[in-house]
Structure 1
């Protein structure tokens, strides 16, 4: 029997909502039921510019979406400073919550959101798109978990950077301390932290040390930063995120027997193709003229882009709760919380003069 179509309300018309509204349209088990903004005019303009179905309702207030009994899910792409109030209210209205990242200003806020979702029996998930049922992520997970191919993971490096440009650095909400106070750490570093946790099978690191000389704007918002993470078993990871550097979206995972590299883990260069490189038991060739065996490129294809796969998975979880009486999946709230813990530790280490910070769950 086909799944029931899950009805999404989009809470605000942020730029990222353009991408996710398309994903909802592409997902086989989801539909856009309502679009809202602070004005009907802006909601109408968003709908016409982004091929929103003509059947979608247009609202001029967030509250009306939450009060619509036909809305199953709210997608919240609002500034981070508004997440706790609107996500909690959505949960109290029995709406499942797909929350844009970074999910909160600090762990206490996120715990408030997660407690509201759990108390009201609704599913929570953050919108870290590459994590959700993408076949490349599944293949990379297989490799990094295979001790015969990669051996013991020893080191991981990730980066997510882009040259945001002068207008962005002056006007975007991600550089405004009252809207998105995490800056590049929340917007780009979130992905790097999640990738570090993914490679470590979601074990939290023991300590974190922020790298010296981060960049800040005049309002004190982070424009670039990095950190090193260390686990009790000796694994280490580093990451770098920036609004000031050419586009990069890299993961390099190094093990005792092999390595994995991917150059577009956040947003694939081609939305239906996901390449990555692996090598196992590499050695220099004769007279060090090259290496043997050479790295192998894996090309993974997908019928749906990763954001549509995310929406599909979320809608499937919601359907399980609505139609089968299942409990909300706890994996995704748990991963959001671990990511937030590490993000908070970066800011603490910076504030303490780049001292090591112990991470306690």
Structure 2
């Protein structure tokens, strides 16, 4: 394999067309080389910015392509494990949209196959590659705000389209699988801590998918409070409240799409420091980090074990809500 990672994309998903395939095309050390879709019309949206891509009319054909080193899987949630395993069996590194699994145990087969093949398999949890999260992790763990007291977050949007895969139980829909991974994973990543118990899990369901979740949990060093919803006006924020200061991310999850990525640090001395990243594309950073990990230059910031931990907390939330 050359230093350039040659990527294929399984399926012409809208998110892939608008974000990840473009990020692969733009990233250093990466080449968007092939797309698997049976729809020539859908392929046109990708060819508009990457006219040289090869088209395959099936996922299997793309996985059999010897000119592909890695694949990105943006398929509906219930297909993620199946096609991650098939990609690894075909000798391809694989980056899978979150959530990779719908239960923590779903990750185990992919982790085992990753280890057996020596290939890289990871979940596309792009936020940990953004400098605002790298900076927040450093500040919190270095004690810039003192001992943590509370982590609180909100992430919401309004999606009432009954045909959308996020609103369909058979495709692994629901707010917690879609955006709960961010609300929960961000707290785990920055603090380095794992939940002890879920103290409140208020879930509202429509058509057998969760559309609103309000969660409180005890971590070893702080209380967690989070709300995610697919039935509310768009909003997102994340705050780390310590004994000696407060650190706030005003656009933690859709950086420079929802708003400009910004970190605000308030300390007990009355000082306020703001850092902004108006030009950073976290999807491009994710692709470049994946390539460096494939080439053995650095460890990937979001290994499957970390992603499994986020799903384990989501499993705890569902279990607490059913009691």
Which TM-score band (shorter chain)?
over 0.9
Instruction: Write out aligned runs for 1:134-153 (5 A).
Output: 134-147=130-143, 149-153=144-148
- Give 1:226's aligned residue: 214
State yes or no: 1:306 paired with 2:306: no
Structure 1 residues 1-361: aligned runs within 5 Å: 4-18=3-17, 19-37=19-37, 39-49=38-48, 51=49, 53-132=50-129, 134-147=130-143, 149-164=144-159, 166=160, 168=161, 170-181=162-173, 183-201=174-192, 203-212=193-202, 214-217=203-206, 219-233=207-221, 235-269=222-256, 274-281=261-268, 293-302=270-279, 304-320=280-296, 329=300, 332-352=303-323
TM-superposed deviation, 1:248: 1.4
Runs (4+) off by over 3 Å: 269-273, 328-331
Whole-Å separation in 2 of the counterparts to 1:252 and 1:4: 39
Task: Give the stretch that moved more between structures: 89-98 or 203-212.
Answer: 203-212
Q: 1 CA distance for matches of 2:34 and 2:40?
A: 14
Q: String of CA shifts for 1:76-108, please: whole Å, max 9, x gaps.
A: 011111111111111111111101011111122
- Kept in 2, the 8 Å contact 1:40–1:59? The answer is no
Deviation at 1:239, TM superposition (A): 0.9
When residues 28 and 271 of structure 1 are mapped into structure 2, their CA distance, relative to the original with a 3 A threshold, is farther
**For the residues of structure 2 that align with 1:281 and 1:329, how far apart are their CA atoms?**
35
Distance (whole Å) between structure 1 residues aligned to residue 212 and residue 259 of structure 2:
30
CA contact 1:35–1:43 (8 Å) conserved in 2: no
- 1:39-81 deviations in Å (ceiling 9; x for gaps): 14245233235x1x22211111000111111111110011111
The answer for unaligned runs of 5 or more in structure 1 is 283-292, 353-361
CA contact (8 A) 1:275 1:298 kept: yes
Q: Distance in 1 between matches of 2:316 and 2:127?
A: 23
Alpha-carbon distance in 2 for matches of 1:270, 1:76 = 22
Contact 2:128 2:301 (C-alpha < 8 Å) held by counterparts:
no
Q: TM-score, normalised by structure 2?
A: 0.93
**C-alpha distance in structure 1 between counterparts of 2:283 and 2:29, whole Å:** 14
Give the TM-score normalised by the residue count of structure 1: 0.84
Partner Cα distance (2:311, 2:83) in 1: 18
Deviates more, 1:69-78 or 1:273-282: 273-282
Q: 1:46 to 1:116 in 2, by over 3 A?
A: farther
Q: CA RMSD in A?
A: 2.1
Query: Contact conserved, 1:205 with 1:230, CA < 8 A, in 2?
Result: yes
1:109-135 superposed Cα distances (whole Å, 9 cap, x missing partner):
111122111111111221111111x22
Query: Residue 309 of structure 1: SS of its match in structure 2?
Result: helix
Q: Give the direction of change, closer, same or farther, for the CA distance of 1:95–1:272 in structure 2 (3 Å limit).
A: farther
The structure with the largest alpha-carbon Rg is 1
Unaligned runs of 5+ in 2: none
Higher mean displacement: 293-302 or 109-118: 293-302
Deviations 1:182-234 (A, max 9, x none): x1111111100111102321x2111123432x2211x211111121121234x
